[in-house]
Chains A and B, each alone.
Chain A
Amino acid sequence: MTVPSAAWTLAAGDELKAPDIEYSQLLPTLIVLGAAAVGIVVEAFLPRRSRYVTQVVLSLVALAAAFAAVIGLAAGGSATSDAQIAGMGAIAVDGPALFLQGTILLVALVSVFVFAERRLEPVAHGAPVDSFAAQPASVPGGEGEQQATKAGWTTTEVFPLLLFAVGGMMIFPAANDLLTLFIALEVFSLPLYMLCALARRRRLLSQEAAVKYFLLGAFSSAFLLFGTALLYGYAGTVNYSGIARVISSADTTTDPVLADTMGNDALLLIGGAMVIMGLLFKVGAVPFHMWTPDVYQGAPTPVTGFMAAATKVAAFGALLRLLYVVLPGLRWDWRPVMWGVAILTMLAGAIVAITQTDIKRLLAYSSIAHAGFLLAGVIATSEDGVSSVLFYLGAYSFVTLGAFAVVTLVRDAGGEATHLSKWAGLGRRSPLLAAVFAVFLLAFAGIPLTSGFAGKFAVFKAAAEGGAGALVVVGVIASAIAAFFYLRVIVLMFFSEPQPDGPSVAVPSAMTTSAIAIGVAVTLVLGVAPQYFLDLAGHAGVFVR
């Protein structure tokens, strides 16, 4: 009798048994994770005053190099003809993976600019500081915090944490077996939990957000892991294509140890549902969206921007791969459920957003509604569906980044003025900033000539072609509802009288300025001339199996 030991990595197929790792294929991820490790060393050994510059430069260089590596792989054909599964069946290097990794890297690159901004907080004790706590380990309001603040300390750990999160996010949509998926999830979630807790102002709110995010996130990770176990019980492997083969009855060999459970459809359905639930949590889809508003509100705004953009990209990538590679055979089971989730997500996000009075919570609910629109594209189950979701993710993430970067600039004595009533009359005080924010809001609302419209049209088109016309109608109605609250903000900014004690707009350094400028540029370019990027997403629409 054979020992059924850790044979799961080998079960993918004979050609994958080579015990070597294709380092060149995994280069982008390795660069980022390597740089993150170096960042930790920098924290440990470099004097405090030189850490900031070193970390910023290191992060930017690493992300740029990783992006160059992604481009190199794509140019070498890894995205299309030469797509393959690397790392002994653990990681897919194909079009969607590379497209999403590239998007995540660009998002991270812009996020570093916002993270590194040190002009916004007032210089209190001689040193310019950023939006992160002086010493996160100290008790909020305690003596340790005061001392750290007086000393002008800053938390440069955010940069390696960001890089670790990026590394995990890059693996997440590329993961080709369920265990790699789980590990990637943890690798990017844990740094995010920590980043959420690091706000310099309103530290209790920030820590509350982190705890909530952590607890709910841990819960969803548990679902994912349990689902993985059940699927292993069903298929005898955690490899994506291996499970797909068992589902389609192409593989009939039964592992003797799992003879009782293999092929048991109950395990498949429950396991598949649990894994999908884990991913829907990260996506922020109803009914797993509860964490979104609290976390978005409490986390430091640069982190919120990064999280809102990059997590969504990574999680939708993973969801796409799971549904298209592992569970296509189960399409008739998951499609009705996902229909329901998509409709609920679109409508709930749009309707609840109407009552919000805090700009960050408003953007959180808007991100939920957008998750619903994206799900409409996911449901299309066609190549068009994949590429439309990829395009939407790229378009949406830059709008989000830009919008949150603008939020960091509107400040009063208590830090960022996120309450909507304080935004009244902003258009009079700083017309340029208000106009930029209006562009982002119009893009969120999907007004033509912005990237939001092109993205929305792409996913709805894919959904309509996939026979989900009713979903398109619901999506259109949800868009109309959503348009209402985006407009409310515009009305507030331009048509309301400024309040006497209203916030002022901080003058940022070139870094935040360029982050916002990139956001506007991407929004307009993808809105007016999206063809090149649609082509790019179109070529990247095929998963390797």
Chain B
Amino acid sequence: MSFPLLTTTAVVPALGAIATAAVPAARRTAAKWLAFLFSLATLGLAAAVLIRFDPDGARYQLTESHAWIADFGVRYELGADGIGAVMIALTALLIPFIIGAGWNDADPAPGEEEETENKRWRPTQGFFALILAVEAMVIISFAATDVFVFYIFFEAMLIPMYFLIGGFGDRAHAAGEAEGAKQRSYAAVKFLLYNLVGGLIMLAAVIGLFAVTSDQLGEGTFSLQEIARARASGELDIATSTERLLFLGFFFAFAVKAPLWPLHTWLPNAMGESTAPVAVLITAVVDKVGTFAMLRFCLGLFPGASDWATPVVIALALVSIVYGALLAVGQRDIKRLIAYASISHFGFIVLGVFAMTSQGQGGATLYMVFHGISTAALMLVAGFLISRRGSRLIADYGGVQKVAPVLAGTFLVGGLATLSLPGLAPFISEFLVLVGTYSRYPAAGIVATAGIVLAALYVLLLYQRTMTGPVKDEQVRRLPDLRVRELAVVAPLIALLVFLGVFPKPLTEMVDPAVEHTLSDVQKKDPKPQHPTAEQGWFDYKPAAPAEHGGGEHE
């Protein structure tokens, strides 16, 4: 029995959550350092996962499999493919930055220090414990190869997220403290209801999947490998209509989580009302589970139905791209602007996933990583800015680059990464997604390109309005520049953006074989397998005929 590396990677932050929560109320700083150290340990373990992972090896590596709930056909099965390993690494990478950026976010405001009537009320400890709990659940979700295990943690992570959104907000709310608390609780409930409804509909599909497998295999199973094996050997043959219904159940949950237009409306509320680090946690980490799950579960379990749904999904993704970008242009609130920009970017990711080409899906995977890093950089700097002035409104700023040049500079780099400037990492992924889409759906590729133009518009307008021009506001004039802690949070992220923008090869090597596996999943049922997928390289994929994948005729 080999060392359960994936489980350990998830258990360490979970233990960290418990340990952090147990720190006494007075030892706030100790709790912060404890949480930070645990997140670093997790990062170390995630790095070990990346190192131990052999891109040319089996599809799922570092696998673990234990009996769990035999009656439900559930096994505790973990395994990382290239995509999962990279996503785990991204999660573990971002959490220390999130903790670092949120260092003082949950402390009682100066003045209300003595007010706390109860020694057990420890918001700081709770804040960091919840972040670590989310990390643990996200890592399990990325590693799970059993649908049920995935589902459990996919749903369970809503609870700590809910408390993070509803319990911790920006110090100063434009509309006053009471209104701020109301808005926060509204955002938290909206977040939870959207995701819970999505999750419950997925639950119906999970049960349906069990019914189908137990009907045909004699024993219900949720194991991806087992289902793939049974499908390959012909033991399992899901009826077309059933497969489509099950696909819809799964896809709905992931589309809410991702979020895809028109199920996106919870995201601007949640990101707007939560603190910047939590907003990063939502968009850069938790939401990625949705797009990741589309790749692993929607395509992996229901290839035929995925093919069938592709035109609609691509249309929705295009709407997301354009709609998110347009609304971002019109936002007056910095955080909501970034939220709508994220919706636009998630449109790109979904587009890449459902373009069903190796460039598209490889690009989508890279997009998930790079979007995580670039949004983290932009959002965290925005959070530093907002905490200085106590306002989220763009109109309250102006001329910041004169008083805080480092802050403005890092903000600009984060923004340029968001608009996919060549030389920074997101450019590569966006380019790949567009190429991958264009080779199969030229029209979709052209529409998606509009998203790039709009991205330039909203990012540069944001920069221009907040950072350039004369300093109008008295409070802005006294803005301090980035502190050492803040710089320590942002600098590595920017360095990563530049480095991966120039040298993405390590990542592509990890992702490439996994994408080919996923692609072969989908094409297994193709009526005319003219192109042997196994020999496809990265850039030499040539689609046979677009129409072949667009229709829903083949069974």
Residues of A within 8 A of B (CB): 428-432, 442, 447-449, 453-454, 457-458, 460-461, 464-465, 469, 472-473, 476-477, 479-480, 483-484, 487-488, 491, 494-497, 529-531, 534-535, 538
B118 touching A429, Cβ below 8 Å? yes
A491 touching B69, Cβ below 8 Å? no
Given A469-B211, A534-B71, A494 and B163 contact (CB-CB distance below 8 Å): yes
A473 touching B204, Cβ below 8 Å? yes
B120 touching A430, Cβ below 8 Å? yes
Chain B residues 184 to 216 lying within 8 A of chain A, measured CB to CB, are 184-185, 188-189, 192-193, 196-197, 200-201, 203-204, 207-208, 210-211, 214-215
Residues of B within 8 A of A (CB): 67-72, 117-118, 120-122, 151-153, 155-156, 158-159, 162-163, 166-167, 178, 181, 184-185, 188-189, 192-193, 196-197, 200-201, 203-204, 207-208, 210-211, 214-215, 220
**Chain B residues within an 8 Å CB radius of A448:** 151-153, 155-156
A447 touching B181, Cβ below 8 Å? no
B207 touching A457, Cβ below 8 Å? yes
A491 touching B185, Cβ below 8 Å? yes
**Chain B residue nearest to A531 in the complex (CB):** B69
Given A472-B204, A487-B189, A461 and B72 contact (CB-CB distance below 8 Å): yes
**Chain B residues within an 8 Å CB radius of A494:** 163, 166-167
Q: In the complex, A472→B214 CA distance in Å?
A: 17
B-side interface mostly: helix
Given A431-B120, A449-B152, A484-B193, A491 and B71 contact (CB-CB distance below 8 Å): no
A495 touching B152, Cβ below 8 Å? no
A476 touching B203, Cβ below 8 Å? yes
List 30 interface pairs A-B (beta carbons < 8 Å), by A numbering. A428-B117, A448-B156, A453-B152, A453-B155, A454-B69, A457-B72, A457-B207, A458-B71, A458-B72, A460-B204, A461-B210, A464-B207, A464-B208, A464-B210, A465-B210, A465-B214, A473-B204, A477-B200, A487-B162, A487-B193, A491-B185, A491-B189, A494-B163, A494-B167, A495-B166, A496-B185, A529-B68, A531-B68, A531-B70, A534-B72
Closest beta carbon of chain A to B268's beta carbon, Å: 19
Closest beta carbon of chain A to B230's beta carbon, Å: 18
Across the A-B interface, give the 7 residue pairs with the lowest CB-CB distance, nearest first: A448-B152, A534-B71, A495-B185, A464-B211, A476-B204, A476-B200, A448-B155
Given A494-B166, A495-B185, A534-B72, 14 new contacts (CB under 8 A):
A429-B118, A447-B156, A448-B156, A457-B207, A461-B210, A464-B211, A469-B211, A472-B207, A477-B200, A479-B203, A494-B167, A496-B185, A531-B70, A538-B71
**Chain B residues within an 8 Å CB radius of A429:** 117-118
Q: In the complex, A242→B153 CA distance in Å?
A: 49
B184 touching A495, Cβ below 8 Å? yes
**Chain B residues within an 8 Å CB radius of A538:** 71
A480 touching B197, Cβ below 8 Å? yes
**Chain B residues within an 8 Å CB radius of A472:** 204, 207-208
Contact among B120, B158, B203, B214 with A457 in the assembled complex (CB-CB below 8 Å): B203
**Chain B residues within an 8 Å CB radius of A428:** 117-118, 121
**Chain B residues within an 8 Å CB radius of A458:** 71-72
Closest beta carbon of chain B to A473's beta carbon, Å: 5
B118 touching A430, Cβ below 8 Å? yes
**Chain B residue nearest to A479 in the complex (CB):** B200
Closest beta carbon of chain B to A448's beta carbon, Å: 4
B166 touching A491, Cβ below 8 Å? yes
Q: In the complex, A538→B72 CA distance in Å?
A: 12
Contact among A461, A495, A530 with B211 in the assembled complex (CB-CB below 8 Å): A461
Q: In the complex, A483→B71 CA distance in Å?
A: 26
Closest beta carbon of chain B to A151's beta carbon, Å: 38
Contact among B69, B156, B210 with A530 in the assembled complex (CB-CB below 8 Å): B69
**Chain B residue nearest to A473 in the complex (CB):** B204
Q: In the complex, A469→B155 CA distance in Å?
A: 22
Contact among A430, A465, A497, A534 with B69 in the assembled complex (CB-CB below 8 Å): A534
**Chain B residues within an 8 Å CB radius of A430:** 118, 120
**Chain A residues within an 8 Å CB radius of B156:** 447-449
Closest beta carbon of chain A to B384's beta carbon, Å: 26
A469 touching B68, Cβ below 8 Å? no
**Chain B residue nearest to A439 in the complex (CB):** B159
**Chain A residues within an 8 Å CB radius of B158:** 447
**Chain B residue nearest to A477 in the complex (CB):** B200
**Chain B residues within an 8 Å CB radius of A488:** 189
> Which of A431, A477, A497 has the most CB atoms of chain B within a 10 A radius of its CB?
A431
A442 touching B189, Cβ below 8 Å? no
**Chain A residues within an 8 Å CB radius of B184:** 495
**Chain B residue nearest to A484 in the complex (CB):** B193
Q: In the complex, A104→B178 CA distance in Å?
A: 47
A497 touching B151, Cβ below 8 Å? no
Closest beta carbon of chain B to A200's beta carbon, Å: 29
Closest beta carbon of chain B to A409's beta carbon, Å: 15
Q: In the complex, A491→B69 CA distance in Å?
A: 32
> Which of B153, B163, B196 has the most CB atoms of chain A within a 10 A radius of its CB?
B196
Contact among B71, B117, B121, B153 with A535 in the assembled complex (CB-CB below 8 Å): B71
Q: In the complex, A497→B118 CA distance in Å?
A: 14
Q: In the complex, A428→B123 CA distance in Å?
A: 10
> Which of A454, A461, A469 has the most CB atoms of chain B within a 10 A radius of its CB?
A461
Q: In the complex, A487→B193 CA distance in Å?
A: 9
Q: In the complex, A448→B197 CA distance in Å?
A: 14
B211 touching A465, Cβ below 8 Å? yes
> Which of B72, B193, B201, B204 has the most CB atoms of chain A within a 10 A radius of its CB?
B204
Q: In the complex, A453→B72 CA distance in Å?
A: 12
Q: In the complex, A495→B166 CA distance in Å?
A: 7
**Chain B residue nearest to A535 in the complex (CB):** B71
Q: In the complex, A534→B73 CA distance in Å?
A: 12
Closest beta carbon of chain A to B124's beta carbon, Å: 13
**Chain A residues within an 8 Å CB radius of B208:** 464, 469, 472
**Chain A residue nearest to B68 in the complex (CB):** A531
A461 touching B181, Cβ below 8 Å? no
B120 touching A491, Cβ below 8 Å? no
Closest beta carbon of chain B to A524's beta carbon, Å: 12
**Chain B residues within an 8 Å CB radius of A457:** 72, 203, 207
**Chain A residues within an 8 Å CB radius of B122:** 431
**Chain A residues within an 8 Å CB radius of B196:** 480, 483
**Chain A residues within an 8 Å CB radius of B214:** 465
**Chain B residues within an 8 Å CB radius of A535:** 70-71
**Chain B residues within an 8 Å CB radius of A442:** 159
Q: In the complex, A494→B189 CA distance in Å?
A: 12
Q: In the complex, A180→B225 CA distance in Å?
A: 52
B167 touching A480, Cβ below 8 Å? no
A461 touching B207, Cβ below 8 Å? yes
Closest beta carbon of chain B to A501's beta carbon, Å: 15
> Which of A442, A447, A453, A495 has the most CB atoms of chain B within a 10 A radius of its CB?
A495
Closest beta carbon of chain B to A150's beta carbon, Å: 36
Q: In the complex, A464→B69 CA distance in Å?
A: 18
Closest beta carbon of chain A to B23's beta carbon, Å: 14
A491 touching B204, Cβ below 8 Å? no
**Chain A residues within an 8 Å CB radius of B197:** 480
**Chain A residue nearest to B242 in the complex (CB):** A469
Closest beta carbon of chain A to B21's beta carbon, Å: 10
A431 touching B121, Cβ below 8 Å? yes
Closest beta carbon of chain A to B398's beta carbon, Å: 34
B200 touching A497, Cβ below 8 Å? no
Closest beta carbon of chain B to A10's beta carbon, Å: 40
B193 touching A483, Cβ below 8 Å? yes
Closest beta carbon of chain A to B343's beta carbon, Å: 23
Q: In the complex, A529→B74 CA distance in Å?
A: 11
Q: In the complex, A494→B165 CA distance in Å?
A: 12
A495 touching B167, Cβ below 8 Å? yes
Q: In the complex, A460→B67 CA distance in Å?
A: 22
Closest beta carbon of chain A to B238's beta carbon, Å: 14
**Chain B residues within an 8 Å CB radius of A477:** 200
**Chain A residues within an 8 Å CB radius of B189:** 487-488, 491
Closest beta carbon of chain B to A523's beta carbon, Å: 14
B207 touching A460, Cβ below 8 Å? yes
B203 touching A491, Cβ below 8 Å? no
Q: In the complex, A41→B474 CA distance in Å?
A: 85
